[in-house]
Structure 1
Amino acid sequence: MHLPFWLTTALLFPVLLYQGKRARRETPRLPEAQGSPGGLYGEGAPVFRVLVIGESTAAGVGVSTHEQGLASQLALQLHERSRQAISWHTFGVTGIRLGELNNKLANADLPEADVVLLSMGVNDTTGFTPKFRFRQQLLALRDLLAQRYPAPVYLLSVPPMHLFTALPSPLRHIMGWRARQLDQLYQELAHQAPEEFRYLTYPTITDTSMLASDGYHPSDKGYQAIAGALATGGWLSDEDRTEDEVA
C-alpha cells in the first residue's frame, strides 16, 4: 500500500501543488526532435534492429533531430563496436503516460526490431499513477508487443527525480520517492519474468553540460552518454561481432 508515501504526500499536498504549478510555469517547454524517426548505421541489411518507445526521451526532447537521440545514438555505438549494420527507430510522445502509450502503440505502424527498449516513468511519477495500475499497464504492453516482438522488453530505469535540482524541495524528494517505487516495480518484473522483461540502468547524469536548457532532459552529450552506457550490455552475440571486439 506504500502508506508512508501516501500519508506524507497528503500532508504536504498544498505545498506540492503550489511547487508543481510553479515548476510547470517556469520550466521551458522544449519541442520534440525533428527529422526521420529511424535510420541505419553501416551498409547492407541490418544485423541488429533497435526500437525505443516511450515518453519525452524517446521523442528526443532536448535535441534538435532524432539522429541525436537515444535510439540513434545506441545504434551508432553498437555499429562502432561491432562494425556491423545496425538500424534504429524511435516512437515517443512528450507528456504521455503508459496507459496512453499502449493505446497509441495499438494503432502504430512500427518496424521490425530485435530489441525493444521502454523509456517511461517520469509522467507516471508526476501523475501519481497507482503502482498496481502501472504494473497492469506494463503487462498489457508486453501482451500488445508479444506477437511481433517475442524478445523481452527492456525497461530503462526510471530517472532518479530526487536528483532533479531544477525541482524545489520537498517536491523533488516526493517525486524521487515515487520514481524509486516505480523503478522497483521494473526490477521486480524483470526478476519474476525474465523471459518477458529485462531491467537496464545507467549512470545518473550529473554534469549540467549533458542536460538540455530545461535542466531535465538530456542534451546531445547526455544522450550519447546514456547510449554509451547501454551499449556495453552485450546486445550482439559473439558471431555478430568482429574478432577484435570479442577478444
Structure 2
Amino acid sequence: MHLPFWLTTALLFPVLLYQGKRTRRTTPRLPEASGSPCGQFGEGEPARRVLVIGESTAAGVGVDNHEQGLASQLARQIHERTGQTIAWHTFGVNGIRLGALNQALAKAELPEADLVILSMGVNDTTGFTPRYRFRQQLLELRDLLGTRYPAPLVLLSVPPMHLFTALPAPLRHVIGWRARLLDNLYKTLASEAPARFSYAHYPVISDPELLASDGYHPGEKGYRYIAEALAALP
C-alpha cells in the first residue's frame, strides 16, 4: 500500500467523487475505430509484424478507422524508415482493464508478431486496481503470450494523466499520481526481467490539436506523434 497516496485520496474523497461523476457525465464517449484491424505497408511477405494490444488506444478511440490508429501508423513509420514490408494488427477494447484483457486474449486468435506492444493502464488507474494485482496480471499476460512471442513485451508507459486537461483539478493530479505508481511497475518489471519486458516512454501530448474531440484520447495526429516516437526507439 502506498500510504501517502491513500491518505490524500481519503481526504479529498468527496471532491474526487463529485468531479469523477461530473467528468463521466460531461465527457463525450467516442466509439472504437471501425474497419479492418490489420493490414500492411509494402508488397510481399512482411519482414516484420507489429501487434498492439490493450485498451482504448489499441481500439482506436479518437479516430474513425484503424488505419489512422496506433498500430497502423507505427507500421507505416517503420516501413518508411526501413523500406521493409511491415504488417500490423491491433486488438483493443475500450474501457477494459488488464485482468479482463487477459481473459479476452486467451480466447482470441492472434497473428504472428515480432513486436508486441501493450497499451494499457488508464482504466486500471481510474478503477484503482491494486498494484500487486496489476503486477500479477502483467506476469500472467507475459505467460499467456508464451513462446509464440519470444521478444520482450513492450510496455507503453501509462499516459501522463496529470496532464489530461479534460480532467479537473484536484482529480487530475490524484489520478496522475496513481498512473505514475502503475507506470513504475512497468519500469520495475523491465529492469528485473529484460528478457520478458521492455519499457517505452509515452510521449507527452501537449498540443491540443493532437487530441480527439473529447480532449482525452489522441486523434489521428496524436497517434502519428506516438508512432513516430516508438519507431525511433532502438
TM-score range, shorter chain: over 0.9
Distance (whole Å) between structure 2 residues aligned to residue 97 and residue 164 of structure 1: 19
1:147-162 to 2 correspondence within 5 Å?
147-162=147-162
Q: In structure 2, give the amino acid aligned to 1:44.
A: G
1:95 pairs with 2:95? yes
Gaps of at least 5 residues in structure 1 are 235-247
Distance (whole Å) between structure 2 residues aligned to residue 146 and residue 43 of structure 1: 29
1:47 pairs with 2:47? yes
Distance (whole Å) between structure 1 residues aligned to residue 202 and residue 161 of structure 2: 14
Q: Give the aligned partner of residue 175 of structure 1.
A: 175
3-state SS of paired residue (1:217):
coil
1:106-117 to 2 correspondence within 5 Å?
106-117=106-117
Preserved contact between residue 49 and residue 88 of structure 2 (Cα < 8 Å): yes
1:79-228 to 2 correspondence within 5 Å?
79-228=79-228
Q: In structure 1, give the amino acid aligned to 2:69.
A: G
Preserved contact between residue 159 and residue 202 of structure 2 (Cα < 8 Å): no
Distance (whole Å) between structure 2 residues aligned to residue 202 and residue 6 of structure 1: 25
Distance (whole Å) between structure 2 residues aligned to residue 200 and residue 93 of structure 1: 21
Deviation digits for residues 116-163 of structure 1 (CA, Å, limit 9, x no counterpart):
000000000000000000000000000000132111100001001110
Distance (whole Å) between structure 2 residues aligned to residue 171 and residue 202 of structure 1: 21
Distance (whole Å) between structure 2 residues aligned to residue 31 and residue 227 of structure 1: 21
Distance (whole Å) between structure 1 residues aligned to residue 205 and residue 161 of structure 2: 11
1:12-51 to 2 correspondence within 5 Å?
12-51=12-51
1:73 deviates by 0.2
1:13 deviates by 1.1
Deviation digits for residues 85-135 of structure 1 (CA, Å, limit 9, x no counterpart):
000000000000000000000000110000100000000000000000000
1:12 deviates by 1.1
Distance (whole Å) between structure 1 residues aligned to residue 150 and residue 229 of structure 2: 24
Q: In structure 1, give the amino acid aligned to 2:183.
A: D
1:203 deviates by 2.2
3-state SS of paired residue (2:46):
coil
Gaps of at least 5 residues in structure 2 are none
1:26 deviates by 0.1
Identity among equivalent pairs (%): 75
CA RMSD of aligned residues (A): 0.6
Q: In structure 2, give the amino acid aligned to 1:179.
A: A
3-state SS of paired residue (2:56):
coil
Preserved contact between residue 208 and residue 215 of structure 2 (Cα < 8 Å): yes
Structure 1 runs (4+) deviating above 6 angstroms are none
Distance (whole Å) between structure 1 residues aligned to residue 67 and residue 37 of structure 2: 8
Deviation digits for residues 6-57 of structure 1 (CA, Å, limit 9, x no counterpart):
1111111111111000000000000000000000100000000000000000
Distance (whole Å) between structure 2 residues aligned to residue 202 and residue 173 of structure 1: 18
Distance (whole Å) between structure 1 residues aligned to residue 187 and residue 56 of structure 2: 22
Q: In structure 1, give the amino acid aligned to 2:43.
A: E
